[in-house]
Every structure is written in structure tokens, then in C-alpha cells.
Structure 1
């Protein structure tokens, strides 16, 4: 069915056409009507299936049909776990609301940058606020924003927010909101903790699940190259140069590893930049902008970026190291194969990661094909697991020999004698 059948206004349909979309994705075709009717929604969909538009479009429609207040109180609050995802949602709000008249005012706030400019931008009021939990509470504590008029609360990637330790902040924020409101939860996966959270948050929600939990898009070709750990950087450089890859997103497990790999790539004339939690927001934005523009060939990221990078036609994602949590594998490779386009996800797997690979396969219920690269074959025998040093035998006591009391026990015995 076309977007025109979903009940969206003409200005929104025009913005959708400008973006090059004609047919809604499954999550959009189910979520948009439910949100328009004012229902609470619990929606799970693979990353890259258009869930951001699934809540942005109907929210813009509903707000545009209402009268405006002169002080423009926050009426829609969207919470996200990362700065990159917050910025991405903010861009979607601006893009889809471009033809609305009068235009709705939106703002994006997150940590890692100075708070005063954000306070100034909020002074005139906003209709839609996209925020990370910590910075939002900072702004609330400084009386820069009030949440007592919020009509709709959206938790995007709520499972990631719990993983990152935001549960207390989320509960504090929910306590500041009107009790009567619309609640929407959108995510690629839902953990049991999330399901517990929804029990007290959502009221008779419309449940939407367009794909099994923790599954990867069928449009993403997945392959695991079995390599020696010491040769991973060399293998990555070989793949990039041999295949003439011009845009590659590479994931590492640590910030230090991301920095180190970036330095090595730049030394062999492969222009790369790193993006992770220790980078300033300016550096992260600059790296992502350069990568999208094709000025940077390789973006090396930690999992902080797994849910916040939305790049059209990103062809390649490489797991330089498999993630510590198998669920993060789904989010990493979900950066490619988006919006109906095909993509490739490659994992460089060393001997010490074989178990992690099996856990990923168990999670996604799919076997990932294993291959070797000529000239970089993995060793035939995995290195042995280092054994723990042997413990010496405990000193034996003679039969009927009493155990010598320790210092604390001796002190207690002395005290008992004194009090007797």
C-alpha cells in the first residue's frame, strides 16, 4: 500500500516523496495508524527497517492538527541512549516536518557539549524535544525545561538505555510527566527487563513485531573470515585495498583498540577516523560527517555508534572484533542493508573468538558461513588455553590436633575470659 493510505497529511506525504520513499515498510504500515489513533505502542523491528519514521510521521501529523500555545511547552519527548541516535532522530523530525505550516519547533539535547547554548535554545519553548536521559535531567534541574505538558513519550532503543545504566534516570523522568499521556516503545530488540518496564508504563498497548527478536536482515550477507589475531589489521587493509572499498564501518570492542587501529590504517594511506565515548562531541560529529561525505574511507567505532549511525547505502560493516554481548552483533551489522538495500557484514574471527561466534549464531538462529583468505589462513591448531598455576597441598594437621585460632578468634576468646 502507498503512504497515502495511512491517513497522513499532504505536507507529510510531500516530505516523504522528497525523501524518495513511496511504500511504507512493514513496521511503518502497522505503527503509523496505531500512533495516529492515540494508542500506546510496543514495537519491535530489525534495525534499518524505518522505525524512526514509524513514530516521527504520526507524531508530526497529530501535533500539526492541534492549536499552538504561545509559550510552546514540550508536548512530545523522545528519549534515546546515544548522542548520534538523538541527532539522527532530530534530522528526521526536521526532514519530515519541512512542509508543515506553521512549522513545528524541535530541539535535540545531549551531553558532551556545553549546556548553556542548549538552555538558550530551549528558552523560547519547543514542541518536540529529543534528548539523552542524563542531559535532560541536567536541564530539568536547572529549570531550563519543564515536562508537565508532555502528551507523548517515546523511548527509542530502550533496551540499549537499560544496558547503559539509564534505568534510574528514565524512572526519574517518567515521574515528572503527566500521568495521562501516550507512550511508545520502539526498539530492534526487547529484553526481559524491557518487558518488565513496559508492564507499568504502557496501557493496553498495540504490540507490533515485524521480525523475530534478535534477527539480522536477510538483505545483509554475513561471512566470518577465520584469521590469526596478530594478522587482523593486515587482513583488513588487504580487504579494503583488494576490493577497493570506499566506505567501510569497522567495529572494535574498546576505545583504545579503535584509536590504535585508526592510526595503523592512516599509516598505510587508508584515511580513517575513530568515534567512541572518549571523543569530544565535536570530534564525533566531524568524523561522522566526513564519513558520510566520502572524505573518510573507514570509520572505526565502538558499540556506542552501533545504534546511532544511519548512512544511506552503506555497503560494508566489519567486525574487527566480535562484540562482548551477542545482541550487539545485530545492531552493528544493522548499519548496512538499510531501507531495502543490500549490504555485507564481515567478521574477522580469531581462535579466541570461536565461542563468541557460536553465541552469535545461536542468538540469530542462523549459521554464518566461514571462509579463509588466501595468504592469511588461520593456524590449523588453536593456541592452548593457559593453565592456572598448580596450587600446593595444604599443610596437614596431626590427628586430634586443634586448629590454631586466628587473631580475631584469639581476641574474642580473651574477651570472653575477661567478662566471665
Structure 2
């Protein structure tokens, strides 16, 4: 199958050819014809599957095939809206659509927080056909009456699962209330389809077609997974040891909290590793600089939270390291999905202390297999990690290794205190800073 066979306009095909896009990915091959036919669409697609083109190309084709009739007073209301969870993803989507629409005229702008509103206000006053926005800042514009969404004909929700995880559901519903209910096409893309997403879709979509290119929570077979057990207090040293083995390898390191990512990046810098941190507390300029330096190779290690990493899209990222495991097992798939793309080999490494054992068991259950466990000489944990039950009725250690006995012996009186006091907890109680995902607490609306 080729892009020509999908029925795309010659101007779009020309731009795709210049970018060396020859054959559509599975999500593009299935979603584009349905979207061109005007269907509402529920599409299951992980990051890195080509979903931006899957909704972007039909969106552009619709806009160029049915140009807007300019009102007598010269007003120009947006006709298409793409909602994204993060600033980085909004910028990435905007750049991609500008590339696909190189030979057509589709005025567009991005709307996100962390920057001043003047440029956004100027673009909206001039008039655009396409708005790519984060929910939080778009609500600000709605309240200021600086954007009129009554003319939206196509709505795209990109990474809908992440937007709900970040607590944007109330904002999304407020935005939907401002959109026309009739003659609107809606395309929803999500890595997973939990019940809240299905309920949301039933609320505002009309007989949506379903497309699922990969089963939920699957990972590419080009990724090698490895787990290194280590005492919590020695994670930093082990990370430095792994990075030093080949300092030229670009590595994305995941932390759990904003403050923890900053501290880890500073530690790496002081240790001679070119590193930068990226998270929600950084200004937009700082985030874009860090991402640009990482993509250009000026920085070898990027330390990121789950939320900030959603906009990171690098074709051949060789290695991802989980300095801290995610609190939600599905986020493991999102994290490591940034390596092993397009048939290239990737490596996913997780540093796991006793406090992380429960999280690792959850990841193993989700994947349906135990990840390979490998101790690193010099970093073997002083406290044997009690893995507990990988699944009901068993007591297996990941990687097929024999589990420690459940009835642990008391440590020898002569043993140093830290040998049995348990590893120091990292980032305890701070996980809500990233994405507003608190345990038993209310979600706060993050700034987008």
C-alpha cells in the first residue's frame, strides 16, 4: 500500500515524498481512509506509530478541499482544533502538520501555557484555520473571549489517555461545550481505552469507527529489557557506572518527580556527564533548549518526568533508563516506547530497589512475563530484594531466578546497620507533582 492509494491530495503527497515517507504505517493505512470519509474515529495507537500523520493528513485535506468563506467583516474563526496534553507535544504536532502542509495554505497557531499570551492573541486576531492547544491555556483564552470555537468542524484529541491522567477531564468537557454539536467530525487517539475514555467518547462522538493497530500495552520486540537490583542509596552511582560504559550513547532517564529530576541532572553534570532536566516547572524556553540540545547531541543524557517526556520524539534513541519505576505500570510502556523504533534496536534498563519490588511485579503482570534480572558486580544489593508473588500462587523472582526464602533470618549482630535498615526512600510523597496523579487525593489541574 502507498500514500497515493489512500486518496490524498497531490500537494500533500508531494510534501510526504520530500520527507521520504513512502509507505503508510498500520495506523495511517487504517485511519486515513476512515477519516477522509468523514467518520468519527476511536484509534488505539502508541507513541511512535505515526499517529500524527494519521489524523493530520485527513485534517489538512479537509481544510484545503473546503476553504472557509471569509465573513464580511474579515473575521476568521478556527475550523479545526487539536488538543494535546503537553506543550512539547503541541509544538511537535504543529511542526509536523506544517511539514505535511508545506504546499498548501492553512493558517495555524499553537496555544499552551508557560509563555506569554501576546503572540497567541495576535495570531487569533489575525485569524487561523487550525489551533493546536493544551486544555489549560485554551480555557484561559475561552474565559478571555479571545478565541471563538463555534466554527470548529474537526476536533482531534491526541493522547486522550494522558490528558485524563493529568486531570484535564473537566477542562475537556468545558471545551466540548463550546464546540458545535452538529456537523463536527471527532478523532480520538489514545494508547489505552480505559472506561473513562470510552464514557467520554460515548458522550460526544457519533457512531465512531474503531481502529486498534497493536494490542494494549504491547512493546516492540526490538527492545531489550533489563532490570538491575540495587540498594536505593546506590542508584545514582550505578546510573553513573552504566553511563560511563559508553558516554556517547544518548540516554533518556526517567525520574518520578520534578525536584528529583533536577537533583539527578545536577549530580550527573558535577560527575562530568552532559545532562539536562526537563519537567513541568521549567520555562517553555528552557524545555525547548534542553530538548534541542539532546536531539542535536550537545547533551547526552536527558532526565525527564513522565509528563514532560510526552513530546520527546527521536527516531533512533538507543537507550532508556528507569531511574525510578513509574507508579502506574502502563507508563512503563509509554517510557520505553521511545526506543527501538522503526526496526532499530533499543535498550530499556530499570534500576530497582526493595521499595520498587511491588511496582516491578505490576509491570511483569501487565506484560505477561518477567523482565530479565541481572546483578551488576560491585552494586549487588546488601539487602536481598524480596520480590514476592509475580502472579497468584507463585513466588518467583523476575528473570526465572530463584526467589529468596519468605522467612528471612535476622541479620548478624556484627553486620553494619545500613545492611538491614532498608534502602532510603527517594521522592516519597512527591509523585503528585507530575501529572496530578495523587493516591487518594484530588487531582489538581496542571498548567499546560
TM-score normalized by the length of structure 1: 0.88
* The 10-residue stretch of structure 1 (67-76 or 233-242) with the greater mean CA deviation from structure 2: 67-76
Cα offset, 1:209, TM superposition: 0.8
Contact kept in structure 1, 2:3 and 2:22, CA below 8 Å: yes
Deviations 1:308-358 (A, max 9, x none): 111121111111000111111111111222344332111111121111111
Aligned positions of 1:102-117 closer than 5 A: 103-117=105-119
Closer, same or farther in 2 for the Cα pair 1:99/1:57, shift >3 Å?
Answer: same
Q: Are 1:299 and 2:302 matched, yes or no?
A: yes
Cα offset, 1:201, TM superposition: 1.6
Separation (CA, whole Å) in 2 of partners of 1:227 and 1:278: 29
Q: Which residue is 1:359 aligned to? A: 362
Contact kept in structure 1, 2:156 and 2:187, CA below 8 Å: yes
Separation (CA, whole Å) in 2 of partners of 1:337 and 1:87: 23
Q: Which residue is 2:428 aligned to? A: none
Cα offset, 1:245, TM superposition: 3.6
Q: Which residue is 2:147 aligned to? A: 145
- Higher Cα radius of gyration: 1
* The 10-residue stretch of structure 1 (151-160 or 237-246) with the greater mean CA deviation from structure 2: 237-246
Q: How many residues align?
A: 384
Contact kept in structure 2, 1:107 and 1:129, CA below 8 Å: yes
Cα offset, 1:380, TM superposition: 5.5
Separation (CA, whole Å) in 2 of partners of 1:295 and 1:244: 12
Question: Aligned-pair RMSD on alpha carbons?
Answer: 1.6
Deviations 1:93-138 (A, max 9, x none): 11111122xx111111101111122111211111110000110111
Closer, same or farther in 2 for the Cα pair 1:107/1:340, shift >3 Å?
Answer: farther
SS of residue matched to 2:128 = coil
Separation (CA, whole Å) in 2 of partners of 1:313 and 1:234: 26
Q: Are 1:199 and 2:202 matched, yes or no?
A: yes
Contact kept in structure 1, 2:142 and 2:148, CA below 8 Å: yes
Contact kept in structure 2, 1:50 and 1:339, CA below 8 Å: no
Q: Which residue is 2:353 aligned to? A: 350
Contact kept in structure 1, 2:251 and 2:320, CA below 8 Å: yes
Contact kept in structure 2, 1:48 and 1:337, CA below 8 Å: no
TM-score normalized by the length of structure 2: 0.83
2:160 to 158, 181, 196: 158
Aligned positions of 1:401-416 closer than 5 A: none
Contact kept in structure 1, 2:231 and 2:383, CA below 8 Å: no
Aligned positions of 1:129-278 closer than 5 A: 129-180=131-182, 181-278=184-281
Separation (CA, whole Å) in 2 of partners of 1:216 and 1:192: 22
Q: Which residue is 2:39 aligned to? A: 39
Q: Are 1:5 and 2:5 matched, yes or no?
A: yes
* The 10-residue stretch of structure 1 (183-192 or 339-348) with the greater mean CA deviation from structure 2: 339-348
Contact kept in structure 2, 1:306 and 1:328, CA below 8 Å: no
5+ residue gaps, structure 1, are 387-420
Cα offset, 1:260, TM superposition: 0.7
SS of residue matched to 1:73 = coil
Q: Which residue is 1:390 aligned to? A: none
Contact kept in structure 1, 2:158 and 2:189, CA below 8 Å: yes
Closer, same or farther in 2 for the Cα pair 1:245/1:230, shift >3 Å?
Answer: farther
Separation (CA, whole Å) in 2 of partners of 1:304 and 1:193: 19
Cα offset, 1:236, TM superposition: 1.4
Deviations 1:210-248 (A, max 9, x none): 111122222222211122222211111121121334311
Contact kept in structure 1, 2:278 and 2:290, CA below 8 Å: yes
